[in-house]
Structure formats: structure tokens, C-alpha cells
Structure 1
């Protein structure tokens, strides 16, 4: 879920907290006004808590298969030097971090439906070279093991590389990037042990390119965004002027290159700050050999999308793969994607201090059990994904059977989430509070 840091020029925030949080919330208009007002106030208070302020937030809740509530607060861009601040709204796009993995998987499953890919085929057959852990040369790595984080690939050697560097040079022992082989786990063969790995999705994106001949960012627009009328994507340099204007800058009250936090200090941009110049095209992309290295587009964490459009994706999942009458994915495909592939038994995986307990294909399973509950007091089991990178904290949690769900996108945090711990789960406390407020106020309570 966590990703590497990028060096982005730090900028100081001018103005007080009220300026930062003076956004324009837009809840749904149905229901008692007093209910909306109470939930709006609760979420605003969470976002302004001194323990961990949120630079911006956009949330959505679905009840009984319909969007029942939307809310935004804070600033998608904090103005300085005479530049005006821009409030978050229902069109604000966020770099959603690791929820991107689930979005990438939706595109991949369309290729599975088309017969271009098979989950249990040796992935090397698609790459054009062997994809084998040198310590277990007789055990193939498959898309199923890549999607379930049981491939034995690790992030220790990196997971994002210049376009000119083929992943082949990293994955094969003779390659120039292979080094001491830190990208391959030494202890268990593929399919046996869970360790969350971003590198899996760089390989997955590259495989998708290989079998289609299309560049990953444009392929995902064809497979998912365009058919559903979604804004955003994996490559801001190709965004429309309108989408670029709506893109949220991600912030932390922490310098970019260190772990030093200052909750009383300024908001410092981390990524997606295009106030001075437009986003550059990925380096080397003009001469990129499609199907050799999709990591510059970050299939693992680079999708930008609004909570509003993420709600459309969630509704598609709740409606057996249909979006506005069009079948995006077949029900059987979704059943496969969200089937459990791995469950922690105490010795078969790294749970990251209890954050990961069950996994499907490109999605996390949130069991309604003590220590891993999404909402206080329990009552909401779901599938989906979490995300964390550059100050962004995100949740996509869908109860497919009950046709309920919640989306949370936070554009920046003032405190280290590792310190501001939750009370009943492995999530930060503010995520627990936001999810519980949405669950109690929308899904369990009256529709508002």
C-alpha cells in the first residue's frame, strides 16, 4: 500500500486553518436537512482535529445500490504567493495510491474475458522470457500469484524504473538491474507466502501491454475509463485542461525527503503540484518500447480519479458488472476476481501488523472480526482496497451482497499515520472515524 517518496519542491502555506478547511461540501440533496448537517459537521470536525488535520477530503457512501451521500472539505490546492486556493469538490481527482491496483485488475480481467490472458498460465509466456524465482526455478509465477501477492516478488530492489530500462534486466539473473537478486524472496515458492509487493503490478502492467500492443495508460482508458465515462487516468500529461484543473495536490506537514513531521508547520506539496508548470510527459516515453516496462505509468498507484467516479466503479461492481445498462465485466468474472485467494493462518504471510488478513485477485478482503474491523463495533464486511502515498490516504470498501459501500479520499495529513494509530484496527484513527461516521450516518441510519 505504501509507495516510495518523490522529491517535490516544498512550498509554505499562507493563512490559517480556517482558510484551508473552508471548502464547499456538496452532500446529496435527498433526506432530512438536519441529518445531512450533522454528518457534514462530524466529518468537518474529524478533518480539523488537532491530532491530525486533513488538507482535503472527498467521501461517498452507497446504500441499497444507490449513491446516498457525498461530501468534500478542504482545499485541493493551497494557494501561496498570490495564487488562489481551490476547494475540493465532487470533480476533484486524487492520485488514489494503491486502489490503483484494483483498477488495473479490472482492466486485466477484461483481457481475461477476451481470451488474451489466463490467470494460471506461466507469466513468462506473456513476457517473452522466463519469470522464475531463481531459488525455485521449477515453480512458475502466474497472474494469479502476482494478483494475490504470492508471486515471491519483493520491492527491495525497487518497483519503478526509467522507461528505457526493461524489466527483463531486473528480473533475470544476468540482467544489469538484477544485482544480488533482492527482488526475489528466498524462503517459499510462488503461491505459498503472502507479501505485499508493488513490483507485482509493474509486471502485470507490462504483461497487459505485451498482449495488446498498447501503452498501459492508454490501454486502461480503452478498457475502463472510456466505457464508463470516467475522468482521470494514469498519465496527467494527457489530461484535459478541465481534469488537470480539478487535480488535487497531495500534501503532508513533513518535508519531502525526510521523516520529520511538524504538525504546527506548513502544508508541503508532495506530488501533483502543477501550479507553476504543466505535468511533463514521462521521461523517455517517446522512444519507449511498449511491453518492456510499464512502471513509469505506475499501475501500482498512479490512477487519478474522483470519489464521485469511484462511486460509479463501485456501483458497477454492485450491479453485477453493469454500468448504465452496459456490461463492463461479466458476473462470473467478478466472482473470480473477488474470490478469496489467500488467508492468514499465522505463518503463511506478512500481515503488516494486522493490516492484511485476506486477499482476492487485486483486492483486499475486510473481514468483520475483532482487530480488523472497518467500523467501530463491527457490522460491515467488505472487499476493496486501501491506499497510502505522498500524504494521500484512501479507502474503497464495498459490501457486494448488501449493495452498500464507502469511498474515502484524503489529500494530505498533518501527522504521521504510523503514530496516529486506530483504536480497533490497523488503520489510522481518522480513517476509523470517517468510515464509522459514514456507516452510522448513511448505511445503518436513515438515507440522507
Structure 2
């Protein structure tokens, strides 16, 4: 039986300490607390442990199944980047190839013509999300960028770090064009199955859809349903953010890629997120390549997210010697639609971690930069 501890208290096992912290958060009313929270850990030997707390819906019964899947926001980028790395290692692609040549983008803006695949992976592309990044079906991301002048920052590619979701929608298109397959199939074969993940992007290819949690966000003084509610068209090939189903019968490589939301659409459980972190931490060619740092903040060369973007690799944040995050962590955070969480591999201990907090407010509202960690999340990261 787990020992009780006050919010922020310490125990011998950091898993128990974090569980007590998350459980206490779920007991607090919004917006100080959360609707639900989950934690998973995989030891260096491969032993898994997971726990979940709170409620699936406001006023609903307690959620007890730690295997439920959730839209994990930008943690998805780590999986998309891993598929690109595997494609590079297989000789299908080079990190330094121009984006426009890979996907055949003849009408690309002049600034985009200098973008390399490496720049997209490390957020050094000069693209921004200031004009938005949600490309509703049947639109294409390239047409969206051509029609959106604010999608371009004016910074030369390779010179300035600016976190942009558009980078990863384009990387999804790159994968489809290079491999001639659907994005979801590529990710399942190259990343999800090797990691032990049965979830998928926007539910494409996922047979088991009943083990899921909807996302609620605290907004306007109440919790508001955002995605994966009961009214979604759950029999469709793919579920878009508004719940509308999409058929993949007319799929064409590199055209409908945005339907899968390569930047944020992955659904997985907290244990599966920890398995993704463990895959990232493997001592193999793909792991070593993906973890190689591409950018380090020097005070002038990028937006550091209030000091929380320290170093960035290929689709991964890297922490070592950070004043607020003491571990040697590599992985990715996610924050969107009421979800906050992360999938992290501790390079010091060889332990993989993942946590989910659901029912959060929008921490980015009114800010120019992407905000990642509330203080309650920093507490969790400090325990790893």
C-alpha cells in the first residue's frame, strides 16, 4: 500500500513521490488542480510501473485504467522525428537535403528554398506558427504556407531557434513522399511497433478505441471538451480534431499528410509514452543520431521558452545541468487542448518516464513563445 505524502512531499521512491503529487492535484478544484493525471516508469531492466488518478470527465467516476490512450500533443514530434532518423539511416534521405527538392515544392517562398531537413527537425527552419498551423482537410500544408506570409519569420534557416509546429507537418509530408506510404503506416512500422505502442496518429490504424480519455481544457471558468468526445465518428478510418471522420480511400502521398497531425496527433497511454522515451534512449545508431544536439541557446540565437529550451536535438529537448531540471533528460514535452505531459529518458540512470496531466488551462494564452512547464510539472521533472 502506497504511503501518503503531502503535495510536494518526498518519499524513498520517486515514483511514489510523484504519484502522491499527481493524486493531490486531482483532488484540487480547477484551475489549481487537474481533472486527471497519470505516471509511468520503465527501469533500466525493463520493469514497467504505471498509475492513474482523477476522473475521465467532470463529475464522472474515477478513472482506474492506466492503459487508456490520450492525445499527447507535441510528444508526437519525438515519434515523427524518429521515423525521419530511421529513413535517413536506411539511405532514403539525407538530413542536409533541401526540403523543396525532396517534396517537389516548385512554388515555395524564397526563404523556404534554403530549408534543409535538419532545420525542420531542430526548429531552425525560419518558419513560425504566428499565422496558425492547423490545416483542415482537404488542405495541404504547402498551400497553407504559400498563402500565409506570417508563417515565415525572415530569419535565415539554420540561424535561429523558433519552435514551430509547421516543421513537423512538413516532416510528415517528407516521409510520405520519400517512402510512398501513408504516414500512419510508416510510423507504425518504424517507431510504434518497435517501441511496443499500439496507439496511432488521429486514431488511424488503431483497432482498440474504447480505452481512451477525452481532453477537457479549463477555459471561461469551466472545463470544456476539446477532442475525442463520445460524439466523434468512431467508426471512421481517421478522427479529426472536431470529431469528424475521414476516409483514407483517396489518400495520395504527401497531399493529405496533415490529416494525421504529425506534430501532435499521436494517441497513446502513459506506459506507451514511457516506451517511446525508452526507444529514444536506446544505445543504437538511431538513438545516438536522434540525441545529437543541433542547437544550444547562447542568449541570442533563439527563443528559449523562459529558459526551458536549453538544447535541442532531432525532435528532442536535451537537459543537462539545467538550474530547474537537474537530471540528464532527453525527450519531449506536450501542451495543448488541456493536456500537459512529457516522455523523458534519463541518460544518467537509464530510466524512462512519462506523465500526463489533463484538464489544464492554456499556459500559452497571451504569450509570444510556447510555454511548456507549469510549476507542478517542474516538480515532477525534478524527481526523475
Structure 1 residues 61 and 136, CA gap change in structure 2 (3 angstroms):
closer
- Asked whether the equivalents of residues 133 and 152 of structure 1 are also in contact (C-alpha less than 8 Å), the reply is no
Three-state SS of the structure 1 residue aligned to 2:380 is: helix
TM-score norm. by structure 1 comes to 0.73
1:407 aligns with 2:354: yes
Return the offset for 1:71. Answer: 1.7
Counterpart selection for 2:373 from 418, 421, 427: 427
Q: How many angstroms apart in 2 are the aligned matches of 1:226 and 1:68?
A: 17
If you compute each CA radius of gyration, which structure gives the higher value, 1 or 2? 1
Distance 1:34 1:367 in 2: 23
Give the one of 188, 196, 201 matched to 2:168. Answer: 201
Could you list the per-position Cα deviations for residues 168-204 of structure 1 after superposition, in whole angstroms to 9, with x for gaps in the alignment?
4234xxxxxx236222221x21100110010001110
Report if aligned partners of 2:278, 2:345 keep a CA contact under 8 Å in 1: no
- Aligned partner (choices 246, 250, 254) of residue 287 of structure 1: 250
| Correspondent of 1:216 among 178, 183, 187 | 183
The CA deviation at 1:74 is: 1.3
Q: How many residues align?
A: 362
Q: Does 1:103 align with 2:79?
A: yes
SS of residue paired to 1:206: helix
Q: 1: CA distance between counterparts of 2:343 and 2:287?
A: 16
Contact 1:97–1:389 (CA<8 Å) still a contact in 2? yes
Q: CA deviation digits over 1:228-248, x for unaligned, max 9?
A: 4422100326432xx311111
**Alpha-carbon contact 1:127-1:207 (below 8 Å) kept:** yes
Give the corresponding residue for 2:335.
388
Distance 1:40 1:383, change over 3 A: closer
Is 1:43 aligned with 2:43? no
SS at match of 2:55: strand
Counterpart in the other structure of 2:217: 252
Show the counterpart of 1:8. none
In the TM superposition, residue 319 of structure 1 has moved relative to its aligned partner by 3.8
* 1:407 Cα offset (Å): 0.9
1:313 aligns with 2:292: no
Aligned residue for 2:70, secondary structure, equals strand
Show CA shifts across 1:71-113 (max 9, x none): 2101234576xxxx46142211111100100011111222112
Distance 1:211 1:315, change over 3 A: same
Q: How far, CA to CA, are the matches of 1:136 and 1:230 in structure 2?
A: 34
Q: How far 1:67 moved relative to its partner?
A: 3.7
Corresponding residue of 1:19: none
Give the Cα separation in 2 of the matches to 1:127 and 1:296. Answer: 17
Q: 1:356 to 1:435 in 2, by over 3 A?
A: closer
Contact preservation (8 Å) 1:58, 1:89: no
In structure 1, runs of 5+ residues without a counterpart are 1-24, 26-32, 172-177, 255-259, 321-330, 420-424, 440-448
Secondary structure of the corresponding residue to residue 224 of structure 1: helix
1:197 match: secondary structure: coil
Give the distance between the partners of 1:275 and 1:166, measured in 2 at CA.
Answer: 26
Structure 1 residue 116 corresponds to structure 2 residue 92: yes
| C-alpha spacing 1:237/1:284, structure 2 compared with 1 (3 Å) | closer
Matched, 1:359 2:312: yes
Aligned ranges for residues 33-182 of structure 1 at < 5 Å?
A: 40-50=19-29, 52-67=32-47, 69-78=49-58, 85=61, 87-130=63-106, 133-135=109-111, 140-171=114-145, 178-179=146-147, 181-182=149-150
Contact in 1 for aligned 2:274/2:343 (Cα 8 Å): no
Q: Distance in 2 between matches of 1:409 and 1:310?
A: 9
- 1:185 equivalent to 2:153? Answer yes
TM-score where L is the length of structure 2: 0.84
After superposition, the CA RMSD in angstroms is 2.9
Separation of aligned partners in 1, 2:17 and 2:181: 48
